[in-house]
Amino acid sequence: MTKIAAMKSFFYLSVIALLSCDNSSNQVIDYKDIHTNAIVIDTHNDILTMTMEKGHVMDNDLIGKTHSDLDRFKKGGVDVQFFFNLV
């Protein structure tokens, strides 16, 4: 299965799961509540490559230099971050 096919499958399964939720009480579900209560896992990040190649430090504000830094992980509610490093 290609990466695109896997992403599409995950998306469709997520939509089906959300649509199958019992919302008969017409209660509004706030996305922030779902996000806050979920375990957020990011399975790919190239920040380590940027720290090695450009000398960036992850706990500095790297807005405009990289896609992420520790402060943005915290603000975004990321609980688990996987890194890939080719040695």
pLDDT in tens, 14-66: 777 666 666 566 667 788 888 888 888 888 888 888 888 888 888 889 898 88
Half-sphere CA count of 62, side-chain side, radius 13 A: 20
Task: Tell me what pLDDT residue 5 has.
Answer: 78
Residue 40 identity (one-letter amino acid):
V
Residue 80 forms beta bridges with which residues? 41
Q: Is the pTM of this model over 0.85?
A: no
81 has pLDDT over 70: yes
